[in-house]
């Protein structure tokens, strides 16, 4: 290091010391904190350090060491509770030495999900969204009585009927009557429309098996002489009158727009606590089944002998080349979301 460089370093250190001394002024109401990276004092309002530019108000998770913001309640990496003085299940403040929350009774050490063995500090499992306690069950009950959730269940039924008609699948007698008895027209769906129908059909496949039950109506016992088809027709209250696949596709797209609008309208009340808002969204999440087609290698056929091998190195003359043969395989992945 030459003399000019040494002088520059000394000058920078003097400026930093002077700046720190200027910031080291405290009043009765203000106590300046220091940047954890360079030690520069700050008043707590700046998101970044004015000296080194690093983010302020961050701390490491004591469990996994991930960087988290100061206002984070749960670690986004491992789900650990970062605010020991607040119950992460209900939001009640309690003594750090108490093993259980005096309000909701949930343990400070968290709850292990019985389905996927994930440790959680929230009422729904962060991995599989399974309800873990009584608070989660209350949130599910409120969601089942939500008119918007009930409307989504009706829209899913309507989409299922339209999908069966558009994809030329056999339907029940009641569905055929509702969709009309006219046979499918000669005009077929475009490739883009077919992909759209298949996309929503696959996405809602898991949801239709576990969808929330609508609000119960007064039960009416059917008489023994009542036909089964008539019972199914009474259960499904949809009435769809269509004459062609083009018209059915228009109705299908309009129903998808209604589904998206209904999902967008599901927002928690502004007065809810963060814990209640988290339960609100978790109780209304639906299981989405994603199906991806991937190519799986079956065998390699050599040019030398025309034999099939699991790999080219099994052939005595791999240098003469060959060709791989593949098969399509469907990979199923379950996620949780709203659309």
In this structure, of 38-42, 157-161, 189-193, the range with the lowest mean pLDDT score is: 38-42
Give per-residue pLDDT as tens, 19-31.
555 544 443 334 4
In this structure, of 9-13, 67-71, 264-268, the range with the lowest mean pLDDT score is: 9-13
178: region left, alpha or beta (phi > 0 left; psi from -120 to 50 alpha): alpha
Strand duo 58-60 + 67-69: pairing: antiparallel
Tell me which range, 26-30, 39-43, 84-88, 175-179, is most confidently predicted by mean pLDDT.
84-88
Total residues belonging to the chain: 339
The DSSP letter of residue 213 is: P
Strand duo 111-112 + 286-302: pairing: unpaired
pTM score, whole prediction: 0.56
Determine the Cα–Cα distance for residues 77 and 68; give it in Å rounded to an integer. 9
pLDDT at 325: 95
Instruction: Kindly give, in sequence order, each residue whose CB lies less than 8 Å from that of residue 208, ignoring residues fewer than 6 positions away.
Output: 156, 160
Q: Examine the pLDDT at 10 and tell me if it is beyond 60.
A: yes
Give per-residue pLDDT as tens, 209-263.
544 333 333 344 444 444 433 333 333 334 566 778 888 889 999 999 998 898 8
The DSSP letter of residue 272 is: -
pLDDT at 222: 44
Determine the Cα–Cα distance for residues 57 and 262; give it in Å rounded to an integer. 38
For 329, half-sphere exposure in the C-beta direction (CA atoms, 13 angstrom radius) is: 9
Tokens 């000058």, located at residue: 11
Q: Report which of residues 293 and 213 the model is more confident about.
A: 293
Secondary structure of 8-40 in HEC code, one letter for each residue:
HHHHHHHHHHHHHHHHCCCCCCCCCEECCCCCC
The DSSP letter of residue 62 is: T
pLDDT at 215: 36
CB distance 123 to 133 below 8 Å = yes
């Amino acid at each position: 290091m030459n003399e000019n460089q040494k002088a520059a370093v000394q000058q920078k250190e003097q400026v930093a010391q002077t700046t720190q001394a200027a910031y080291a002024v405290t009043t009765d109401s203000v106590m300046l904190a220091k940047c954890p990276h360079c030690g520069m004092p700050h008043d707590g309002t700046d998101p970044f350090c004015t000296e080194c530019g690093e983010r302020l108000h961050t701390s490491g998770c004591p469990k996994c060491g991930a960087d988290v913001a100061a206002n984070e309640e749960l670690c986004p990496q491992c789900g650990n509770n970062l605010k020991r003085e607040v119950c992460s299940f209900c939001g009640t403040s309690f003594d750090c030495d108490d093993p259980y929350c005096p309000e909701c009774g949930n343990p400070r050490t968290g709850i292990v999900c019985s389905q996927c063995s994930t440790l959680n500090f929230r009422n729904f499992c962060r991995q599989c969204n399974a309800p873990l306690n009584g608070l989660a069950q209350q949130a599910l009950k409120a969601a089942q009585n939500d008119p918007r959730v009930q409307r989504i269940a009706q829209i899913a039924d309507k989409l299922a009927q339209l999908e069966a008609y558009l994809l030329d699948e056999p339907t029940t007698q009641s569905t055929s009557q509702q969709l009309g008895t006219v046979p499918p027209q000669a005009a077929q769906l475009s490739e883009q429309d077919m992909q759209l129908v298949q996309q929503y059909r696959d996405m809602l496949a898991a949801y239709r098996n576990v969808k929330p039950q609508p609000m119960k109506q007064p039960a009416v016992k059917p008489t023994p002489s009542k036909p089964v088809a008539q019972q199914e027709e009474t259960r499904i209250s949809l009435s769809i009158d269509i004459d062609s696949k083009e018209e059915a596709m228009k109705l299908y797209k309009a129903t998808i727009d209604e589904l998206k609008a209904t999902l967008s309208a599901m927002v928690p009340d502004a007065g809810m606590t963060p814990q209640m808002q988290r339960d609100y969204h978790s109780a209304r999440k639906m299981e989405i089944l994603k199906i991806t087609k991937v190519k799986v290698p079956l065998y390699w056929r050599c040019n030398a002998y025309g034999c099939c091998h699991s790999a080219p190195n099994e052939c005595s003359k791999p240098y003469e080349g060959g060709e791989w043969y593949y098969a399509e395989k469907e990979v199923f992945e379950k996620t949780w979301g709203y659309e």
